[in-house]
A and B are shown apart, each in its own frame.
Chain A
Amino acid sequence: MFKIETKRSLAPGINLFSLSAKELAAKTKPGQFVILRIDEDGERIPLTIADVDLEKGTVSVACHEVGKTSKQLGRLNEGDSILNLLGPLGKPAEIKNYGTVLCVGGGVMAAPLHFQARAFREAGNNVIGVVGATTKNHLIFLDEMEKTCNELYVATDDGTEGHRGIDFLKDLFIERKVDRVITEGPVVMMKAVSDLTRQQGIPTIVNLLPIMVDGMGMCGACRVTVGKNMLFGCVDGPEFDGHQVDFDELLARLKTYTPQEKIAYVFWEEGEKHQ
């Protein structure tokens, strides 16, 4: 059992949990993820690690409530425990001094992106951060990114805070020399960012979480087409060259179990209602 040490609400439906897992924390590097299971009947879900605290022996994960398991997780509180926590999984991010690194985080993924941004800053990079969300009250980790990055830009889909959309990056690329782009967030966002940087020829890393089962390269559920290769999100990733990823296929594959997910959510919600 893994105890929830702290729970912090970041935005409506988005929580940051720190989980007691000393050995896991000691081995974790930015960019890696965990797979957790709440209870015996629970679904395994992958979450990117948002931070570690070696002293306290905890790892943090941010979770956006988008279905049955994430909602169930969202109802847990400090002191509650989850059954399984597996990790760290996947290859760590390549942290080096590249010069200027642009970190673009969307939605809940701004939290794990911050973990990387800090590592890039510590490695001597000039770090430009971008935090985006659909709307103002879904923006998270603004203070943390503000502290970590040399400069920070904010963007929303509806323009309620900062720039509207990501087209402002075009101007940024004209004004500034960017050596590397890291992006974590919704697939459509990573696709849009990769499309922009392709024109500029800037190496771009995306962090993907396709549908996963074991997370250790056995089941093949998480396959992603990267260039001409079929790779596994879990063991070959989660980081890939954004210019090579077939995002449309990824989007379609993420939708494979929508009816099942909906049924699970409806049943669970009904069950909660009548308990």
Chain B
Amino acid sequence: MEVKEPEPRIGVFLCRCGCNIGGVVDIPAVTEYAKTLPFVVYVEENIYTCSSAGLDAIKKQIEKHKLNRVIVASCTPATHESLFQKTCEEAGLNKYLFEMANIREHCSWVHMHLPAEATEKAKDLVRMAAAKARYLEPQIETELDIIPAALVIGGGITGITAATTLARQGFQVHLVEKEAELGGMLKRLYKLEPTDRDSAEVLREAVTALKANSQVHIHTSTLVSQVSGFIGKFNVTLQPKNSGQTEQIEVGTIIVATGAEPLKPIGYYGYSENPNIITELELEQLLRSGKLKKPEKVVMIQCVGTREKTLRTYCSRICCQVALKNATQLRKLYPDSDVFVLFRDVQTFGEYEHIYKDARANFVKFIRYDQNRPPKVATKPDGQLLVSVYDTYLNNEIELESDLVVLSSPLVQHEDGKKLASVLKVPLGADGFFFEVHPKLRPVEFASEGIYICGTAHGPKNILESISQAYATAAKASIPMAAGRIKAGAVKASVNEEICVNCDACVVSCAFNAIEASPFGLPKIIEANCKGCGVCASECPMGAMQLKQYRDDQITIAVEALFEPDKHRKAKGDFKPLILCFACKWCSYAAADLAGVSRIQYSPNVRILRVPCSGRVDVLHILKAFQSGADGVIITGCLIGDCHYIDGNIKAKERVDVIKKALEYLDIDPKRFELGFASSSEGQKFAAMMTDFVKQIEGLGPNTLKPKQRIKNNV
């Protein structure tokens, strides 16, 4: 096997972890075994490798034995890898030359009553780590400077709030608004909940607070036409609407606060055909201008063009609050008028329940209709409106004469928002609104670092919620800007331009816009955007794209090492399957750790190899495992929807059927290969998944593949 220069000198430190590991695993036996592994020049056992004595030992032995690779076989890298890496760096060894074998959470704690099996497994894990260590390379971590300036797109109350908050922290802020004036939707509203304050007054205060900061640069009647670059240094082209002259600015972060617009409900209930059929927003504008003719009977219809069976399936969330607020206003203004609200479900959630109670107290009348039997609005010859509705409580058709019908239409994404999404290369969800990377792990952030989302551009929400999100984005954007620099890890994609065939599969597969195609197809990696998932490497048909620290050769050497002494194992007659599990380093590896912490016992036949993402596991790695003699291979990833790299696990899932078919072609039972998902809290599930898979493989018997004979010329 080819080895990297200079010749590796591997030091292995085996941790007893008191009796946590040493009480189950025969550490002296593993120590003796490790000494026999290629390129291992020093092995030591410690009571606690993470103690100051243990760390000192690592530093001392790096120097004494000129170690250029260090392996610690102990607990999970999730908690201790950074400590050991720091120790290596203190002794002058690049931290990327450190490797860990998890023989506690993944071994001694989950096979407490099987010391012989656990000892075998520990040997395997150490052997895999030692094999991979040979192929490790030192890496340099790059640092990025962050320009302390932000671009806030959208000058509504959300954008104004975000801009003011950042400016008050001392950052330069460019606030861009497409209209001639700031204010956005707030300009069009009237009395605001819950204080009945006039929206104009609220807006005036917000704009005054904004303009009090000299760091704020307001660009009205302006669009953002081009954005390039990445966190720290975005180059932004501003296009004023009434001038051909563009303006270039540089910012470190970007906040999207472009809002939404209410759907014009054309085609619903005769809207636009009769001037007395209007939307809630139009009603507010009439109330604001004082031009509303005193109505006798008002009928409001909820859920117009929303919560539909296709297309706009979402609840617009604010309509019930708005309609009931307006209904109460009308009742207070015209106490002798009748106001009916035709609803499907009243969703004045949380504290907004009081709006519903107020409406009830003010004798607003509620009639529930069924989505499948929506109300009908007709115009009588005398111009009066006639609304007929099937009341699901009375089980009866009701007719209401009316002189004003008000429709609650949802907020929707506007055309400028859609254009902005492609300018920023950020995604829109199925509902058309901007899509944040993860609602719990990274709320208000896009997958592309340094770009944030707040307000109704992200989905329908009320003013209070929009303002809260504005503060959240300002806080998030200020983190890199206050630090001034961010350190980028070195686990990044890199491309071998000699082998690359310029198919740009990597460009298409990258969820983070970290790979750009040059005009003639050469992929260009934007390291600042690369998150290190390795999906591009697995999608590359030629192996030209690789992920540092998880290159194909680094993974396959570990895979081959696992099955090296396999002949010996199988000769004994009694079938003990040997199974490889590729676990993504996030949820599924953490689930395996939790199984350990919870001492959930499972089959000792599985060896876990850590990969950044289930999407990094390549068909090559799986074939290599089976060719080397694996009885079974299982990939585990985060739950669908919870991938830390957006869709890496979906990419893995898409490959499953193809891989199974390929295995079948090679006369390998496709049941020998599975993909499973577990969240970091599902230790029990992970353990059960492993035990079940081992049982499945036991049923199939050993993999008798003679790989080189099975691969035919044509597929």
Contact = CB atoms under 8 A, between A and B. Distances in A.
B519 A192 contact: yes
A189 B521 CA distance: 7
Given A134-B520, A166-B519, A186-B502, A259 B654 contact: yes
Contacts of A172: none
A244 interface: no
Given A267-B662, A271-B713, A272-B713, A261 B521 contact: no
A157 B619 contact: no
Interface residues of B, number: 35
Nearest to A252: B508
B707 to A, nearest CB: 8
Nearest to B541: A262
B623 A266 contact: yes
B659 interface: yes
A13 B713 CA distance: 20
Contact of B711 (A156, A165, A166, A274): A274
Given A134-B502, A266-B620, A271-B713, A259 B520 contact: no
A263 interface: yes
Given A13-B501, A186-B521, A39 B620 contact: no
Contacts of A262: 541, 618-620
Contact of A106 (B501, B521, B620): B521
A114 interface: no
Nearest to A272: B713
A238 interface: no
A63 to B, nearest CB: 12
Interface centre among A66, A193, A252, A258 (most CB of B within 10 A): A258
B655 A259 contact: yes
Contacts of A158: 497, 518, 522
B505 interface: yes
Contacts of A67: 501, 541
A263 B714 contact: no
A107 interface: yes
A189 B520 contact: yes
A263 B619 contact: yes
Contact of A188 (B521, B655, B711, B713): B521
Nearest to B503: A66
B520 A261 contact: no
A268 interface: yes
A241 interface: no
A35 interface: no
A13 B522 CA distance: 16
B715 A68 contact: yes
Nearest to A257: B658
A29 interface: no
B712 A267 contact: yes
Interface string B626-662: 0000000000000000000000000000110011001
Given A266-B623, A271-B711, A274-B708, A189 B655 contact: no
A265 interface: yes
Contacts of A157: 518-522
B105 interface: no
B539 interface: yes
Interface centre among B541, B655, B708 (most CB of A within 10 A): B541
B519 A64 contact: no
Contacts of B497: 134-135, 158
B711 A255 contact: no
Interface residues of A, number: 48
Interface string B503-530: 1110111000000011111100000000
A166 B655 CA distance: 36
Nearest to B499: A13
A210 interface: no
Contact of B658 (A68, A134, A260): A260
Contacts of B500: 134
Contact of A186 (B504, B623, B708): B504
A187 interface: yes
Interface in B607-632: 618-620, 623
Interface in A125-158: 132-135, 155-158
A175 interface: no
A188 B519 contact: yes
Given A271-B711, A271-B712, A107 B521 contact: yes
Contact of A268 (B502, B520, B713): B713
A53 interface: no
Interface in A179-215: 185-189, 192-193
A261 B502 CA distance: 15
Nearest to B498: A12
Given A107-B502, A134-B497, A165 B519 contact: yes
18 contacts: A39-B714, A67-B541, A157-B520, A186-B517, A186-B520, A188-B518, A188-B520, A188-B521, A251-B507, A258-B505, A258-B541, A262-B618, A262-B620, A263-B662, A267-B665, A267-B711, A268-B713, A271-B714
Instruction: Give 3 nearest A-B pairs by CB, closest first.
Output: A157-B518, A41-B714, A186-B521
Interface of B: 497, 500-505, 507-509, 517-522, 539, 541-542, 618-620, 623, 654-655, 658-659, 662, 665, 708, 711-715
Given A254-B503, A258-B539, 14 more contacts: A67-B541, A134-B518, A158-B522, A166-B519, A186-B504, A188-B519, A251-B507, A251-B508, A255-B505, A258-B541, A260-B658, A263-B619, A272-B713, A274-B711
